[in-house]
Amino acid sequence: MRIKIKIVALLFICVITLNFCSQKKLFEKVQFTGRLIHYNNQLPAQFEIHLKADNVYISKSSADGSVELASTTSAADGTFTLKSKASKRNRYYLQIITPDKGTIFVLQNAKAVSNVVTNVGDIVVPY
């Protein structure tokens, strides 16, 4: 019986320790949805999109020092959905990669509520 208690206590300590050492929250998730539109013709756009968050191991907040949480390519109708575990700092960046303009950060320090879908709406992208 004592061995079982020790094993359970050790597992509990391991889970707590891993949670504090992680970039992401243990049981919370975030989801961003939206649609990409071309600036010139107002038609749906297909580009690569990355969801990034502040790195919890550095003190400065910036998009350049961020950590990637999820990535996808928008559908033919321009819609996208990015899902990930929640970041501990709860500051997110949405990065779009276009073939002509390169990298564009469209959301800076965006906040999201855990376990709730955050709709960022239509994002107009120059190309």
pLDDT tens digits, one per residue of 69-113: 899 999 999 999 999 888 877 788 888 888 877 777 777 666 777
Task: Tell the residue number behind the tokens 């649609």, with chain if given.
Answer: 35
Question: What is the C-alpha separation between 2 and 90, in angstroms, rounded?
Answer: 40
Higher pLDDT, 118 or 78: 78
Q: Please answer whether residues 80 and 72 qualify as being in contact, where contact means their C-beta atoms are separated by less than 8 angstroms.
A: yes
* Overall pTM > 0.75: no
Task: Name the CA radius of gyration of the chain, rounded.
Answer: 18
pLDDT in tens, 37-53: 988 899 999 999 999 88
Residue 62 has pLDDT above 70, yes or no: no
**2-125: CATH topology:** Immunoglobulin-like (2.60.40)
Which pLDDT score, from 0 to 100, does residue 26 have? Answer: 58
Exposure of 63 in the CB half-sphere (CA atoms within 13 A): 14
Residue 31: enclosing H or E segment and its boundaries? strand 24-38
Strand order in the sheet with 48-54: 66-73, 48-54, 92-98, 102-110
The mean per-residue pLDDT over the stretch 61-73 comes to 77
Higher pLDDT, 89 or 63: 89
Strand order in the sheet with 24-38: 79-87, 24-38, 117-125
Which pLDDT score, from 0 to 100, does residue 49 have? Answer: 93
